[in-house]
Structure 1
Amino acid sequence: MSKPTVLFVCIHNAGRSQMAAGYLRHLAGDRVEVLSAGSTPAASVNPVAVQAMAEEGIDIAAEQPKILTTEAVQTSDVVITMGCGDTCPFYPGKRYEDWVLDDPAGQGIEAVRPIRDEIRRRIETLVAELLPVG
């Protein structure tokens, strides 16, 4: 079985989707291909999201927001949206999930930590589903 590809999508690809991608890379290693993108990418990753992830020992400072492409959706097995609404193209046969999470944009670290922790919980569940221990 080839390794699954997971695409995380939010509007700016600067907070939630970057934290989710960071956690999935950290927890699944090279067993999962990880992509993230945004419908309207920001100029850079949210510095508070970077700080929150650094507290977990995960460095996302070098990541850059990327524009969502139909190719990214087509090559993904799982597409997880986080508040991008109808901007994500739909392809039959893909697993889609919409994670309702607060937007960390403009929030302080105290507000971002619970968002980060909820993302980690969901990523741990996703890893268990994608990579069952045999």
Structure 2
Amino acid sequence: MTIAYGWRAGFVNAELDALHAEGFGTGPLGTDWEARVRRHSLGWVCAYDGDRLAGFVNVPWDGGEHAFVVDTVVAADVRGAGVGTALVAAAADGARRAGCRWLHVDFLPELSSFYLRACGFRPTAAGLLAL
């Protein structure tokens, strides 16, 4: 397996919608991912296993020094092979090259070892308001 990573790489909406549905346990929602990331994101990283989209992470930002990791997803058959860690590393590199000083992430407790150990994030105090 050879995975290629691309910052702001092209993707097909239906493929990303299907990958997102697989990763987050929803049905495909018909999301126009291309319009979403082009409107709100500093960048995104796609992981390709040949021609197949095998992973994705979105990097929205505040237009200044802060970027955020959201929608990190890896195809089930390549999980555990370092694809997610490489996606987040590429996202951090892209944000750094764009002049960001901080990369934020929120995650569920069961993902702590991934984000804190594998990806190198530090724990911080943060707040969340359900809307």
Give TM-score scaled by structure 2 length: 0.32
Structure of greater relative contact order (alpha carbons < 8 Å, 6+ residues apart): 1
Give TM-score scaled by structure 1 length: 0.32
Structure (1/2) with the larger strand percentage: 2
